[in-house]
Each structure stands twice: as C-alpha cells, then as structure tokens.
Amino acid sequence: MSDCIFCKIVAGEIPSRKVYEDEDILAFHDINPAAPVHFLIIPKKHIPTLADATEQDIPVLGKIMAIAGKLAKQEGCHDGFRTIVNTGRVGCQEVYHVHVHILGGDKPLGLMLSK
C-alpha cells in the first residue's frame, strides 16, 4: 500500500532501527516507546488488521509469534514481556498494517503502562 507507513519502512523509504529482518518479517524499535524495550514485529506483506488475516497468512503470523521470544530476549527481556496486537478502531489500532508490539524491561509492565 503506497500510503502505509509500515510498507514504506519495509521498502526502505522510511528509516527504522531494525531488530530483525528476513524475507517475510521485519522487527524494528517503536519510535514512541511505552517501555524500556519496545519494538514491533510486522509481516512484510500488507495485512490491514488481524481481522483481515486469512488462512494463507498463518505461516507468517505463526513465524512472528515463534520469533517474538527470541527477539525479546535478544533485546533485554529476560524475565518476560508483553505481546500486544491492536485490531481495528475499537482495538486502538493506529497503523493499519498488522503489527505485534513487544514490550518489556526490568519492571512489571502493568505498573508502567497504567496511567
């Protein structure tokens, strides 16, 4: 999608601080972190919301979930992390390209994220 910020990041049109990249997925640091460790994992294929995912998307979505723990540990989440997928307007999705937030740090996130 030409107007999708995440598609532009995948295409290299917008810079990002990459955590991981392969042929199917890209992980990069959030530009407005809500925790000491906060990065996103996205499929390179544009899928607007989790509600739009189909059976054909199972391999890439499964890959995202399977690699989340490894990347979280790599980034410093050694005692757990939070995984968040916002879906649609009611789910507070801001960018309409499926993305998984990985948040962690040295304190319980319930205290850090409640305002």
Could you list the active site residues?
99
Determine contact, residues 27/39, Cβ cutoff 8 Å: yes
Q: What is the CA radius of gyration of the chain?
A: 14
DSSP summary character for residue 20: E
Output phi, psi for 52, to 5 deg: -90, -10
State whether residue 89 is helix, strand or coil.
coil
User: Please, what is the Cα angle at 86 between 4 and 109, to 5 degrees?
Assistant: 125
Structure tokens at 111: 């205290």
